[in-house]
Every structure is written in structure tokens, then in C-alpha cells.
Chain A
Amino acid sequence: MVVNSVHWFRKCLRLHDNPALQEALNGADAVRCVYILDPFFAGAANVGINRWRFLLEALEDLDSSLKKLNSRLFVVRGQPTDVFPRLFKEWNVTRLTFEYDPEPYGKERDGAIIKLAQEFGVETIVRNSHTLYNLDRIIEMNNNSPPLTFKRFQTIVSRLELPRRPLPPITQQQMDKCHTKIEDNHDQLYSIPSLEELGFRTDGLPLAVWHGGESQALDRLGKHLDKKVWVTSLEHSRVKTCSLYASPTGLSPYLRFGCLSCRVLYYNLRELYMKVRKRCTPPLSLFGQLLWREFFYTAATNNPNFDRMDGNPICVQIPWDQNPEALAKWAEGRTGFPWIDAIMTQLRQEGWIHHLARHAVACFLTRGDLWISWESGMKVFEEMLLDADWSVNAGSWMWLSCSAFFQQFFHCYCPVGFGRRTDPTGDYIRHYIPILKDYPNRYIYEPWNAPESLQKAANCVVGVDYPKPMINHAESSRLNIERMKQVYQQLSHYRGLSLLASVPTIQEEAEPPMTDESQTSSGPDSPQRVPANTEEDVCYEAPDSSTVCPSSTSAPHPDQEYQAPCISSGCHTDPSHPPSLSSIQRHSPPLKSKPCSPSSSCSSQSSSLGTKRKGLSRKVRRGQRQRGRQYCTLTAREEATGQEETMEEDMEQEEERMEEEEETCAETAGQLE
């Protein structure tokens, strides 16, 4: 039988370590590599010109690599659901391959395409290559819910076998076996569009700082590793001023577009570490950024509302302000805080900022100063940030705005002090906000405090040439700490005076930390065995979500049984997501029993409430409930607002669980009636 393959490029824009592409080539008579984009949609979508440029460059690079193998990239205009039926017929396609997309939107789209292919009798092969691990496996190992703390995630990952080894790039030989004749009108029909065709105006467009493409990515990977060798402390490199600028060894945009395989990076780091550190097992912290990416992918994969507050079971409901003017000032770098404005300018011009810079602007927009929803900030990043992944972007914004993952909210980055700590001279600011270039170091982070004569001498009068600070940071951080405290106290049912104790900690942290044993025992890990691993690739594939999908019903990962843990403060409880606040505790469970904190020892009532734990008997809680029923006075411990509910919640959680069990019985019984 003739096998005509189509490989559909989406996120993994590369020829190395591309298992789905290998599948396409495997025994095929003809292979065509397609990329589908809708120029009409492109202009309208919330993606900025820098990101488009990066993508188009990546496609150019892919095309030129394919040319070297006597093949080409087919860029097809349109929507996948419209394009594929046409291609299937026109090219007489029998096999379609693509990489597994773990994001909810992608899963839905792919499900539809698989079904469509089925109708046309086209075999579909999906392979996991955008993430290190099989995310569903991680979720399964965490009792079928995604881990909500990074520590927990690391613990689980350390128990997994190592990620699948990367595959080699496809070769001329492989390609020759399934050579497809390229028509003369290929460039007419399937060329890579220009930015103009996508509706962007390119006159005066500054040169790109980041160039997309696999070749560029591999080049950078080499430099990245060279640099690592010279860094004395491999695990922990402190922030240097220079790292605020786009680095020639930065990789994050390339990981985002799949120009670089995360597994290639993983194994390169690993081998480098073992070479330098004489064959000892690398700590997980070596793979920091890769694991964070994986963490957020895992958290998002079954949560279609991961990018919003409303209806998102892991997101704390915070009464953010809606303030379009303030948002615009932030997005356009007109806040009057040079540190914030320089970062936003760099982001707009170059499409990349250092992760500490991201923390600074994200904190400023949300819980730190402006009290504007993280969703707005996420959208701005989505437009401008080259490495903005849907999952990672939303997840990081939730993290930094303390909307999820149980963060201490007192860590607020000061828009003056944090910048000064990071770059004491302020040269970073002078680079991106040239109008401030003549300010002395002392005032560069707070020009509004400079004497007027100095402002004039520096040719930049605050309020005229550069905006005044849009907000009084001291005042706004005072307000915002109070607001956050209010929200979190409601969440944790804590009414004491401690600020730190108002943040609930999550039970899963109580898991024993990974030990050296658990790390080493996690897989065929010792250096001696590394060469042998090549053969083990086959078995690694098995748990790796790579599934041929012959049946029409099976989307790669059916997720009808979506059960994300739910943290909704107050009454927004959607019956379809059973709340599982039960996993939350105020304190990490102690290894041995602890006396109650002195902070709450001064009044009898506050001590009973303040040190209340899940472990206490329900009897005690009932007593409290009845006392609460007397509607005692509003005190620091009990706000008038719904004190009843909050006192009740704890009890509720337990009983709800009982309830659920009963319900199952009741249901069965009910159906029998």
C-alpha cells in the first residue's frame, strides 16, 4: 500500500528530536511537511509583530533546512479544519503526524482533526515532544490532580524515569526514501508569508534582537553550554546586571516555538553537569526553568479556564480594579517609575525581558501597586513576549499576583528599591529611557525626588519630559497588603494578627521531600548506562502518550473527567468541580506536636480560633459554631462579613467528603428506583 504522509508542524518547528516527523518518514512513499496559518486571522489575533517575525523566521529556517534535504515546507493558508479535507484529497494522504499539544485549546483542535482524518481514512500518529514528561502521568501520580506546589511537582518528577532521550535530526537518507516532487509553482502556492501579507506595517521596524529558527537555536545552545561551564557555581548563578539585557545564549523563545527540543537541552545540561561534577547525579535545580515550564503545563493541561479568574478552580477570587488608563500607562511604559518603564520598553522593542524583570512589572501591575487583574497583564505579555506560552504565561501571572499556588503575599517588589538592587548604576534605565541618561545614579530610579535644578540640568523635568510617578508606592502597598490579607484570611479562615499565617499552606507539601535515594533510584540514571539508553528509547516511548489513534472517539487524552482541585473563596462553587479545600492547612503539618503560637495566647477565644487546625475534632468546631451563632462583636478575629460561613467551612469540607460518598450510593439507589 502506498503511504503518503503529511507532517503538520505547529509548535515543534525543528528537524531534530521530532518523533512525530520520524513517524511520518517511517516507511512512507511521500512526505509533505505543512504549516497552516490564516493570514486573515493573524492580523486580528492578539500577537505582536515581534512574535510574528520570530515565527516567520523559524519557518524560513525550517524551509531552508528542508531544501537541503530536497524537500520543502508547505505553508497552507486557512484554518486546519478547512485545509485538511482539501489536502487529504489533493495529495491522497494516508498518514497524518503531529506532536502532542497538551494545552486545552490544542487538545480540542487536535481532537477535531483526528476525527476528521478518521472520516477520510487517514491514520493519525501523535507523539509527545513539546514537554519533557508525559503530563498525564504526573497528574496520575499525584492522585489524579495536578500538583499545586513546585516542591510537590519536583518530588513527583524525581520519582519518574528520566525523560525520553532525544532523537537525532532527520537525515538525507531518510528523506530520499520518501522524496516528494516539488511542483514549479510551489513558491506561488505554499510560500512563507511576509509580515506585510499578515497585515503589519514594517516601515521603520527596528532590527530583530532575537532571530527565530532551529539553526539559531542550536547555535545558541552551544554557546549556552559553553557559558555554563565557565560559571563557577553551576546550580546557582546570581543576577548580574548584564543578564537584564537580551543574552546571546538565551533560549526561552526557542523552547516556546519548539526550535529547540526541551529534551535536547535537558540531556545536554545533564551530561555537562556530570562531566564537570565527576559523574554525580545532577540536582533537579539544574533544570530549573525547564521544570517550571513543565509545572505550569501540567497545571493547565486539564483546565480550559487556566487563563482567567472566573471559573478557574485554582485561582483565588481577588477583587481587582478595572482601570484601563492605568493599564495603558503600564503597558506603554509611562508609569513614571523608570525601572518599570525601562522593562516595559525593552519588552515592547525586543520581545524578551529577564525573569526578575518580569517579576517586577507583574508585581507592580497586580498586588504590588496598581491592583489590576493579572489577566490584563497576561494579555499584554501574550502580545509582546516572544516566549509567552499559554500555560506558562498564565501560570506565572497567577503565581506572581498571588492568585494561585499559595504564595506569601508580603514579597512585594519595590519599583525603586528592587531595581536599584539589581542594577545599582542604572545603566539599564539609561539604555531604554534615553531621556533620563543625564540623571546621576542617586536619582535615576526616583527622578521625581531630584531637586529641580538637577532636573533642569539633566534636561528632563519630571512632569514635563518624563511622567510623574502614577502612584504613591508606600500608600498603595499599604492598601494592597490589607486587601490581600482580607482575601487570604477568608480563604484560610484565619483571624489572628499574624500576616504570615493568613496564607494557607497546602497539604501536599507535607510529603516527605525527595531524598538522594529517591533521586538516584528514579531511573536508569548512572552515567555508565547512558550509552545503553539509546536502545531503551523504544520502551520509553510506551508511557509517553504516543498513541496511534485508530478509533474516532479517542482524542489524544480524553479529559471528560476533569477534576481540578478547587479553591474558590466564598460561594462561587460550581457543582461540576467538587471543591477540595480540604487539602489546605494553615500550617505545614509538624513532625512532632507543637504548642500553639504565643501570638494568639492572649485571649481565650482567639487562641481557640487562631490555632485551629484541621486535625482538631469536629466537636470543638461545633462548639465554636454555636458560639458564633450568638453573633458576637466584630473583632479583629471575626469580621462582620460572613463570619458564619468562614467558621463553618472547615467542618463543611469534611462533611462534604462524607456527603459525596453517600451521594454515590444515593445515586445508584436512585437509579434503581
Chain B
Amino acid sequence: MDRSDITYRYRSDTDLNYWIGYRRKIKNVIRSIKYHESSSQNLRHAVTHLRTLARRSSMHHVIERLWHAGPVGGLDSIWSFASNPAFHLRQSYPERSKASVMKRGLQGNEQEDGGGTSGGCQKTLKRSRKQRREKDLEDEEVRWECLPQEILLHVFQYLPLLDRAFASQVCRGWNEAFHMPELWRCFEFELNQPASSYLKATHPDLIKQIIKRHSDHLQYVSFKVDSSRESAEAACDILSQLVNCSLKTLGLISTARPSFMEMPKSHFISALTVVFVNSKSLSSLKIDDTPVDDPSLKVLVANNSDTLKLLKMSSCPHVSPAGILCVADQCHGLRELALNYHLLSDELLIALSSEKHVHLEHLRIDVVSENPGQQFHTIKKSSWDAMKRHSPKFNLVMYFYLYEDEFGPFFRDEIPVTHLYFGRSVSKDVLGRVGLNCPRLVELVVCANGLRPLDEELIRIAQRCTQLSAIGLGECEVSCSAFVEFVKMCGDRLTQLSIMEEVLVPDHRYGLDDIHWEVSKHLGRVWFPDMMPTW
């Protein structure tokens, strides 16, 4: 019937369809929540509905239109609403609700016939629109308010922050729900500068609000900063204000360049220490590429030694082997550790495999060469053996970024490495040693090698590394026959097989056009080499 008036207001048909579709669905959702509150399955169903709506960020459209809340501004306007709930609620909602209840009683079915013929007259259009809306609302209006807090909370947990903010304008109950501590346990601060990033940043007003109202609720916090120093400093400013919170998880993540390294060390340390001192139960800490130092690690240990389970600190140049040893000595619950090779020592491995210590799950070592020709220390086989005895299932992940001539001390003895990544060119000789000394190897990635084919090395790896299930080869050469042989030996345990097309050198047995068949046959699934566009 009277579609014209609706289209008049809604810019396009698509918009209209969204509105109609969503409104109807929400109605169903609310019904199912209302009648089957006890049935968790229905609840889940309902929640999924809402979440799907929210994911398309149309929730606010719906709510806005249902409640005729007027034009929605940016985040700022939301936050001025949210921070002033009393004003907001008194001024608008009770009045509107009352009015609609009255009108509902009075106008009943009338507009059903009236609206359609009103043609181009704006005034009529406007009124009929309003009437329609009120009619449409009458079913669900009361129920929206009746949603119990715990259900609301459940629903809200699935909504992105922005939609929660919009939803918080709906009524007092929803506004209260918006501020429930449960919703503020986990937060990711995104700190980006327009000059150095293409991505959006967390709004400064939101940050202020969180510090003011929710800092004591925060438990799982991460900071994502772009390449600028300002962003890193802003992150530290926030950190140093988190005095009355008790964090369980803290992650400092630089998304482009290690920008924490560019700020004054003292500023960084003091901000981090605030968290260490105030949070007595930190369990996970991810501080790769930061200027953290030994004294601050001591503070960490002094306050959180019982709870610390995960510590990731690759490329933290201000930490010494003694500093990390102190952590390993005291934090017996440590299960995952990531650090650079220069911090790895026999003592550290012994400490991690002491009786008091829980089983280690992951150990990640980055072996990075600072200047060419650098000499690297060796780790005794006995230390690795102790580690293996203590934590038989632990994963040892090693990333190598070395020049070819720096591999001297590595893979001379058996090493329990499970995941190996060679970021730069690595010699045939070293790969041969890998085949001999890495019986636990699960994944091997070789980015580059010289021009000589790696045939025997691969075959040996297939023979000796019986758990190998993933391999990636970049700038290397392997003859097609040797490669087929390798795949045949490993068989279908190779779940990941990523080989650049150029790697495979055709020989008398296989050409490039038939090798994928042969390999697919042995793998038991369809396989192709990776290719790059010819452009």
C-alpha cells in the first residue's frame, strides 16, 4: 500500500528493505527471549540473530528508527548521550513512551487506511509515517524494556562497541547495561595517527571515559600502535593512568614499526611498572620490541610471580640473560616464553626444567644477526635434553635471520626444535644438518637457498624427521623427481606444502605440467605449486 511515504524518508529501497527485515526479525527475537527465557537453545538462537544484525552495523538503524530517536551523529554525540544518562533519559524517552502509549490507544487501526493515499503532501506524509511507526511498535515496545539485565548483558557481549553505544541510548535499562563491568573487561586500544596510518584510532573521548569509569574493570587489555612515536607515547600515557586496575593480560603490539623503541626508555618503563605494581595477577604479557629492562622485569616478578604464564619479549635489547633468568627462576607457572637467542642460556633451560617448574608448552627463539659475521654462543645438548625430559611435549619454535656464514654453532648436536623458519638464505650444509639433528621437526620453512638443488637434503629430512607435516620452500631449487620422492616418503602427513613454482626444476621424469598430478596422488588431495603472476 503506502510505500511512497516510507521511501520518501528512507533514501533508497535497500535501506527500506533492511529496515523492514530487521524490524521483523528483532520482533521474533524478542518474542523468543520473552517466551523461552529458560531455554538456553532459543536464547542462543536469539542472540545469534541479534549478533548478526549487529555485525552488519544496522542495529543502530533499527533502534534509531524504532524509537524515532532523531539523527544519529558521530561517536561524540553518542558519548555525550552516554555520559549524561540522567539528562538524556528524562528529557526524551519517558515522554515519548507515554505519548506513544496514548496515541496507540487512540488511533488504533485508523492509519492503516489513511496513510496510503496521501500523495505528495508533506504534512500528511509526516504524520502517517509517525502513526505507522507507532503502530508497528506497539507489539514489541514493552518487551524491549522488559529484557532482564543478564540477557541484555549476554546480547551486548556480542555487539561491537559502537552498536552498544547506540543501543545505550534506547532506555535507562540499556544504558545501565552498557556500563556493566562485564562488558569492560576486555578492551583493545587502537592508537594511530592520521599521518602514519590508514586505520582508524580509538576515539580520545572513549579513552577518557574508560579511564574514568571503567579502568577498574579492565582485565584483558591490548594496545595496537602504528609506527609513530606519538602513538606509543599515548599508549604509555594510558598505561600510567591504570592505577586502580588489575590486569590479567597486557599486550603491547606495534602494527607497523617498533614504535615503543623510539620513545624515551624511562617513560616506557615507568608506565609499564605502574601495571606491574598494581596488577598482582598478571598472567600474560606480550611486550615484543619494547625497551623493557632488567629492573622492570624484577618488579614484574616481585608482584606477579605466582600468576605469570606467558611472556613474549622477542627483540627487547635492554634485557640481559640474567634478567630473563630471574623471571624463569621465580615464575614457576611460566608455560610460554618468546625471546631472542642472545637471552637463551644453558642456565635458563635448566631453570625452566627444574622440578618446581610446570611443563613448558612453547618456547620461541628468534635468532637475529645484528651485524654480519656475528659469533653466536652454543647451547649444550645436555640442557636441551633436560628440557625435553621435563616437558616432553614442548614446542620449540626457531626463526633464523642470519647470514649464511653465521650458522656455525647451530644444528651441530641434536636439538628438539619443532618449527623452523629460515628467513634468509641458508646453505645446503645447514639443511643437511637439520636433517640429521632435528628429529622432532614438524614444520620447515626455507625462504632462500643457493642455486644448487636441495635434493639429498630434502630426502634426508623426509627420512629422519618423521613428524614433519608442513614445509615451505621459497627461492630454492629442487629437482622434480627428488621432490616427488620427498612427498612420497612423507605421504599424507604433509598437511601444508607450499612450494614456489620456480623451485621445481623439471627433469627427465617429470615436467611442470604433470608434477602436480604426481604430488597430488601421494598427498591424497589436490595440490598445485604456488605461483606468482607473470606481469
Decide if B395 touches A410 in the complex (CB within 8 Å).
no
Select from chain B the residue with minimum beta-carbon distance to A478. Answer: B401
Identify the interface centre among B23, B56, B221: most chain A CB within 10 Å of its CB: B56
How far is it, in angstroms, between the C-alpha of A479 and the C-alpha of B423 when the chains are bound?
11
A407 nearest CB neighbor, chain B only: B530
Please determine whether B513 and A235 come into contact, CB atoms closer than 8 angstroms: yes
Considering the complex, give the chain A residue whose CB is closest to the CB of B451: A421
Whether B226 contacts A319 by the Cβ 8 Å rule is yes
Contact B198 A671 (CB under 8 A): no
* A373 contacts the other chain (CB 8 A): yes
Nearest to A589 among chain B residues (CB) is B525
Contacts of A50 in B (CB 8 A): none
Q: Are A666 and B25 closer than 8 Å at their CB atoms?
A: yes
- Cβ of A414 and Cβ of B20 under 8 Å apart? no
Question: Within the complex, what minimum Cβ distance (angstroms) separates B361 from chain A?
Answer: 6
CB-nearest residue of chain B relative to A424? B451
Instruction: Assess the B221–A358 pair: CB atoms within 8 A.
Output: no
Q: Is the CB of B532 within 8 A of A633?
A: no
Q: How far is the CB of A373 from chain B (nearest CB, A)?
A: 7
Q: A501-B495, A670-B20 are in contact. Are A598 and B309 (CB under 8 A)?
A: no
Contact of A590 among B425, B498, B525 (CB under 8 A): B525
A134 to chain B, nearest CB (A): 22
The answer to whether B52 and A639 touch across the interface, beta carbons within 8 angstroms, is: no
B227 and A500 contact, CB distance less than 8 A: no
For residue A611, give the distance in angstroms from its CB to the closest CB of chain B.
Answer: 9
* Contact across chains for B525 and A497 when beta carbons are under 8 A apart: no
How many Å lie between the Cα of A417 and that of B128 in the bound state?
A: 73
If A602-B394, A659-B52 touch, whether A497 touches B418 (CB-CB below 8 Å) is yes
Partner-contacting stretch, out of A52-60, A172-180, A270-278, A508-516: A508-516
Question: Are A371 and B256 touching (Cβ within 8 A)?
Answer: yes
Q: Flag if B424 contacts A417 (CB, 8 Å).
A: yes
CB <8 Å contact, B186 and A631: yes
Q: Which residues in B have their C-beta under 8 angstroms from that of A622? A: 44
Known A573-B56, A670-B24; judge A500-B443 contact (CB<8 A): yes
Looking at the complex, which one of B248, B423, B498 makes contact with A633 (CB distance below 8 Å)? B248
Tell me the complex Cα distance, A239–B451, Å.
13
Bound complex: CA A472 to CA B440 (Å): 32
B257 and A371 contacting across the interface, CB-CB below 8 Å: yes
A553 interface residue, CB < 8 Å from B?
no
Interface pair B51/A478, CB less than 8 Å apart: no
Tell whether A594 is near chain B: CB-to-CB under 8 Å: yes
The answer to whether A411 and B401 touch across the interface, beta carbons within 8 angstroms, is: no
Distance in angstroms from B302 CB to nearest chain A CB is: 20
Distance (whole angstroms) from the CB of A601 to the closest CB of chain B: 8
Q: Which of A121-129, A281-289, A328-336, A454-462 forms contacts with chain B?
A: A281-289
* Chain A hits for B220, CB < 8 A: 631, 634, 640
Residues of B near A295 (CB, < 8 A) are 533
CB pair B362 A636 closer than 8 Å: yes
Contacts A499-B419, A634-B220; is A655 near B52 (CB within 8 Å)? yes
Inside 8 A of A592's CB, which chain B residues have their CB? Answer: 492, 524
Closest residue to B369 on the A side, CB-wise? A474
B310 at the interface (CB under 8 A from A): yes
Contact A323/B196 with A576-B14, A634-B283 known, Cβ cut-off 8 Å: yes
B393 within 8 A of A: yes
Residue of B with least CB distance to A373:
B198
Q: Chain A interface: which of B238-246, B262-270, B321-329, B468-476?
A: B468-476
Closest A residue to B259 by CB, please name it. Answer: A321
B336 touches A285 (CB 8 A): no
Residues of A within 8 A of B144 (CB): none
Q: With an 8 A cutoff between CB atoms, is B222 at the interface?
A: yes
Report A632-673 CB contacts with B as 1/0, cut-off 8 Å.
Answer: 011110011110100010011001100100110011011101
Q: Does B96 contact A (CB under 8 A)?
A: no
The interface centre, meaning the residue of A322, A587, A589 with most chain B CB atoms within 10 A of its CB, is A322
* Measured CA separation A151–B52 after assembly (Å): 33
Is B442 among interface residues, defined by CB-CB distance under 8 A? Answer: yes
* Across-interface contacts of A500 in B (CB, < 8 A): 443, 445, 470-472, 496, 498
Q: Please report the C-alpha to C-alpha distance between residue A478 and residue B399 in the assembled complex, in whole angstroms.
A: 8
Could you say which of A285, A410, A631, A670 contacts B512, with CB atoms under 8 Å apart?
A: A285
- Stretch of B169-177, B284-292, B293-301, B454-462 that contacts chain A: B284-292
Q: Is B119 located at the chain interface by the 8 A CB criterion?
A: no
B185 within 8 A of A: yes
Of A288, A371, A590, A652, the residue contacting B55 (CB under 8 A) is A652
Q: Is B195 an interface residue when CB atoms closer than 8 A count as contact?
A: yes
Known pairs A510-B526, A652-B51; A498 contacts B222 (CB<8 A): no
Residues of B24-49 contacting chain A, CB below 8 A = 24-25, 44, 48-49
Could you tell me the distance between the alpha carbons of A413 and B448 in the complex, rounded to whole angstroms?
8
Report which of A283, A317, A400, A477 forms a contact with B532, defined as CB distance below 8 A.
A400
The answer, yes or no, to whether B368 is at the interface (CB within 8 Å) is yes
Question: Which chain B positions have C-beta within 8 A of A562?
Answer: none
| Interface pair B336/A635, CB less than 8 Å apart | yes
Query: Could you tell me which residues of chain B, from 438 to 456, have a CB within 8 Å of some CB in chain A?
Result: 442-443, 445, 447-448, 450-451
Distance in angstroms from B418 CB to nearest chain A CB is 7
If A320-B198, A497-B419, A602-B394 touch, whether A411 touches B474 (CB-CB below 8 Å) is yes
CB-CB under 8 A from B362, the residues of chain A are 497, 636
Q: Is B535 an interface residue (CB 8 A)?
A: yes
Interface segment, A107-115, A223-231, A391-399?
A391-399
Instruction: Decide: B198 and A322 in contact? CB cutoff 8 A.
Output: yes
Alpha-carbon gap, A590 to B494, bound state (A): 11
Chain A residue, CB-CB nearest to B336: A636
Contact stretch, chosen from A82-90, A98-106, A338-346, A480-488 = A480-488
A207 located at the interface, meaning its Cβ lies under 8 Å from any Cβ of chain B in the complex: no
Partner of B20, one of A310, A594, A667: A667
The answer to whether B421 touches A418, judged by C-beta atoms less than 8 angstroms apart, is no
CA distance A651 to B158 in the complex (A): 13
Does residue A240 face the partner (Cβ distance < 8 Å to B)? no
Contacts of A655 in B (CB 8 A): 48, 52
CB-defined interface of B192-205 with A at 8 Å, one 1/0 digit per residue?
Answer: 10011111000000
Query: Which residues of B lie under 8 Å from residue A373 when comparing CB positions?
Result: 198
Contact of B255 with A by CB under 8 A: yes
Q: Which residues of B contact A245 (CB under 8 A)?
A: none
- Using Cβ atoms and an 8 Å threshold, which residues of chain A touch B528? 151, 509, 513
A640 touches B221 (CB 8 A): yes
B395 touches A478 (CB 8 A): no
**CB closest chain-A residue, reference B194:** A322
Q: Contacts A321-B257, A322-B198, A655-B48; is A395 near B284 (CB within 8 Å)?
A: no
Residue of A233, A355, A418, A670 near B448 (CB, 8 A) is A418
Residues in chain B near residue A641, CB distance under 8 A: 188, 222, 224, 251, 253
CA distance A588 to B219 in the complex (A): 38
As a 0/1 sequence over residues 432 to 461 of chain A, the CB contacts with chain B under 8 angstroms (1 = contact) are: 000000000000000001000000000000
B94 within 8 A of A: no
Nearest A residue (CB) for B340: A478
Check: B467 CB closer than 8 A to any chain A CB: yes
Q: Does A603 contact B (CB under 8 A)?
A: yes
Q: Which residue of A lies closest to B442 (CB)?
A: A599
Q: Is the CB of A475 within 8 A of B368?
A: yes
Residues of chain B within 8 A (CB-CB) of A667 are 17, 20-21
Q: Once the chains are docked, how many angstroms separate the CA of A317 from the CA of B535?
A: 24
Which chain A residues numbered 128 to 153 have a C-beta less than 8 Å away from chain B?
Answer: 150-151
14 new A-B contacts, CB < 8 A, other than A321-B256, A410-B472, A500-B472, are A235-B513, A414-B424, A417-B475, A481-B421, A497-B397, A498-B443, A509-B528, A602-B361, A603-B393, A631-B219, A633-B284, A633-B310, A656-B55, A667-B17
22 A–B pairs (Cβ distance < 8 Å), ordered by A: A285-B512, A322-B195, A322-B198, A392-B535, A410-B421, A410-B472, A410-B498, A414-B448, A473-B424, A474-B368, A474-B369, A482-B288, A500-B472, A501-B470, A573-B56, A588-B525, A598-B493, A631-B219, A636-B361, A639-B251, A640-B249, A666-B24
10 nearest A-B residue pairs (beta carbon)? A670-B20, A634-B284, A319-B255, A602-B393, A500-B496, A321-B256, A474-B401, A634-B249, A640-B249, A396-B535
